[in-house]
Amino acid sequence: MKKLFHVHTFRCGHAEEVPDEEYIKRAIELGAEGIWFTDHAPFPGDPFGNRMLYAELPEYIDTLQALKEKYRQQLEVHIGLETEYFPTFDKAGYYRELRENPGLEFLILGQHMAEDVPGRYTYSWDRERLKAEEYLALGAAILQGMESGYFEVVAHPDRIYRRRKGWDDAMAQMAERIIAAAKKYDLPMELNEASRQRKNQYWEEFWNLAQGRVKMVRGLDAHSLEELKIL
């Protein structure tokens, strides 16, 4: 099946300013059979940037549901969100709330930052610490997120190493833990097209370890019409 998986919308504030319908029209032009929208999930109280406001979530869902209905004969439109796993929001019941939202079909785990102690996040760390330890915190959060059972796909797991310059044994150990968990929970891991285009975000070493052991899915991480393509 020709799938367009992992597509963002203008609501996140760092994607092309076009209506969602334009992505669907382009998808049809490309001959896709399905498109999976996964914009960045908001959180109650709007504590994080680079995503829609919490109050905008109903409009995101309503708009995509109307388009799903309108284009039903031409392609499948799937409505999901990409989100980090944060223990504090899990305890507060937020992931459960998202999973119980009848308008949302699925969540993907995209761990762009981590909550290292309750209420504190890795973006508050200094550069040296991020370089040395960010991948350990992101990896630990991915492991917790996989175990939580809320997610269908692990987005760009190898992006945790984005601040690393070369592969080493400690990085391989974290990779092994993530791969083992993906196998245990039968969760596909995403080969991310946007990561491939950027320095230090796509790690062959990681995928060589994963090869043949876990399910993989290819994702676009599209933030513009131009980035929609059949892989």
Provide the binding-site residues for Zn ion, judged by CB under 5 A: 82, 221
Minimum separation from the CB atom of position 222 to Zn ion (A): 8
Give the integer Cα–Cα distance in Å for 59 and 62. Answer: 5
In the complex with Zn ion, which residue's Cβ is closer, 20 or 82? 82
How would you classify the pairing of strands 115-117 and 153-154?
unpaired
Minimum separation from the CB atom of position 112 to Zn ion (A): 8
Give the integer Cα–Cα distance in Å for 209 and 172. Answer: 8
Minimum separation from the CB atom of position 145 to Zn ion (A): 15
In the complex with Zn ion, which residue's Cβ is closer, 165 or 199? 199
In the complex with Zn ion, which residue's Cβ is closer, 56 or 176? 56
Largest CA-CA distance found in the chain, in angstroms, rounded: 53
Minimum separation from the CB atom of position 73 to Zn ion (A): 28
* Nearest residue to Zn ion on Cβ basis: 221
Q: Reading across the β-sheet that carries 189-192, which strands appear in turn?
A: 3-7, 34-40, 76-83, 106-109, 153-154, 189-192, 216-219
Minimum separation from the CB atom of position 82 to Zn ion (A): 5
Give me the residues paired with residue 5 across strands.
Answer: 36
In the complex with Zn ion, which residue's Cβ is closer, 129 or 196? 196
In the complex with Zn ion, which residue's Cβ is closer, 82 or 84? 82
Q: How many helices (H) and strands (E) does the chain have?
A: 8, 9
